[in-house]
């Protein structure tokens, strides 16, 4: 097993952890964190699978670099929305999670 | 009940994907060869920078647009509030941050220049600059940002504007973002310089604009 394959397998595990977190956790801050864990898993799969034969491939690396920056921006936007929700309602859960 | 279903699904997902990865054949398309073959005409000698700013320049163009959009959305959500400063930190911490900030600026410029021939580039440089701004904010030397003035707005949009101008000028010559090989290096450096400034301000802004209304909420 090459280190690239190991990275990809770790990525799959992280992605599944993140999906389970997003589905199960009601607290929005923790859900945003789970979403980021999911994203990191996807990035690891992209980079790891591309270099499973040893040599790294610059195209997936450039795509992941783009993806990381966009993920940071999306996280900041999600945090801003969460903060606004907290300021308006005093809660950190979505209404449907509180009822259900 | 929901917990069991989700965890079972996640474990099954890992099992299926992991087992399929073990007997994955070689990739049908190997992009390393064409990337390497055209590297001499791309204006830079590092393949990742060549992919980011030359071969797939429109990805990066749209990326900076997405970042700008996220920042605008944050400004819209947060409303019109004056900047707030966090409490002053310990003097030792402040002095260390003051020492670190100029070094981080030097590191950022080096990363931008190094991007042409080794790992580095506008994104890393912008992230280091933004980290310097956040560090100064956390020790209480840089107040959180209120509603941005004209200068800050121009800085936030500069990277996208420079990139878009280059793309528009090149469009009159032929195709979108197809640099002439002899001018490619200079154009990439120009775009990266604009990107570094905008990325630094946008990434710092994601933190500093959110930090501004902590006294009102």
What are the sequence ranges of the domains in chain B? Answer: 43-208
User: In terms of Cα–Cα distance, which of B194, B164, B169 is closest to B183?
Assistant: B169
Q: How many residues does chain B have?
A: 217
Asked if A87 and B217 come within 8 Å (Cβ–Cβ), the reply is yes
Read off the pLDDT band of B89 (50, 70, 90): confident
Give the model's pLDDT for residue B82.
59
Read off the pLDDT band of B213 (50, 70, 90): low
Q: Show the domain range for A14.
A: 3-99
**B14 vs B84 pLDDT, higher one:** B14
Taking 70 as the threshold, does the pLDDT of residue B210 lie above it? Answer: yes
Read off the pLDDT band of B86 (50, 70, 90): low
Nearest CB among B51, B67, B77 relative to A69 is that of: B67
C-alpha A31/C-alpha B83 separation (Å) is 28
C-alpha B59/C-alpha A62 separation (Å) is 10
Q: Which residues of chain A fall short of a pLDDT of 50? A: 100
User: Residue A63 in contact with residue A42, Cβ under 8 Å?
Assistant: no
B123 touches chain A (CB under 8 A): yes
Phi, psi (deg, nearest 5) at residue B120: 155, -160
Taking each helix axis as running N to C, give the angle between helix B91-114 and helix B122-138, from 0 to 180 degrees, rounded to the nearest 10. 170
Task: Tell me the DSSP string of B44-68.
Answer: -S-HHHHIIIIITHHHHHHHHHHHH
* CATH code: domain of residue A70: 1.10.287.3510
Residue B175 DSSP code: S
User: Residue B159 in contact with residue B195, Cβ under 8 Å?
Assistant: yes
Residue B39 DSSP code: G
With a CB cutoff of 8 Å and minimum separation 6, the contacts of B6 are: A19, A20, A23, A24
* Complex ipTM value: 0.85
B1 touches chain A (CB under 8 A): no
C-alpha A67/C-alpha A2 separation (Å) is 24
Q: What residues in A contact B123, CB-CB < 8 Å? A: 65, 69
Mean pLDDT of B45-55: 86
């Amino acid at each position: 097993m090459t280190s690239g394959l190991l990275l990809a397998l770790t990525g799959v595990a992280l992605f599944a952890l993140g999906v389970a977190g997003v589905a199960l956790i009601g607290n929005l801050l923790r859900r945003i964190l789970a979403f980021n864990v999911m994203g990191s898993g996807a990035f690891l799969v992209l980079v790891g699978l591309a270099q499973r034969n040893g040599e790294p491939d610059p195209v997936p690396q450039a795509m992941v670099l783009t993806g990381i920056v966009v993920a940071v921006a999306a996280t900041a936007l999600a945090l801003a929305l969460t903060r606004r929700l907290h300021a308006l309602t005093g809660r950190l859960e979505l209404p449907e999670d509180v009822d259900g | 009940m929901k917990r069991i279903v989700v965890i079972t699904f996640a474990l099954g997902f890992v099992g299926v994907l992991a087992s399929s990865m073990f007997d994955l054949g070689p990739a049908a398309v190997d992009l390393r060869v064409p990337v390497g073959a055209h590297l001499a005409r791309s204006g830079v000698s590092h393949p990742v920078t060549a992919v980011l700013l030359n071969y797939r320049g429109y990805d990066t163009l749209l990326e900076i647009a997405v970042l700008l959009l996220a920042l605008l959305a944050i400004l819209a959500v947060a409303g019109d509030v004056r900047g707030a400063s966090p409490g002053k930190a310990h003097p030792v911490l402040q002095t260390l941050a003051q020492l670190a900030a100029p070094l981080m600026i030097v590191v950022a410029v080096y990363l931008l220049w190094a991007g042409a021939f080794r790992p580095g580039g506008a994104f890393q440089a912008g992230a280091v600059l933004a980290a310097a701004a956040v560090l100064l904010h956390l020790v209480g030397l840089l107040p959180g940002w209120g509603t941005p003035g004209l200068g800050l707005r121009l800085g936030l949009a500069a990277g996208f504007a420079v990139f878009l101008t280059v793309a528009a000028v090149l469009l009159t010559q032929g195709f979108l973002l197809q640099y002439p090989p002899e001018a490619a290096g200079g154009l990439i450096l120009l775009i990266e310089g604009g990107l570094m400034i905008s990325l630094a301000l946008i990434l710092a802004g994601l933190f500093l604009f959110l930090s501004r209304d902590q006294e009102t909420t």
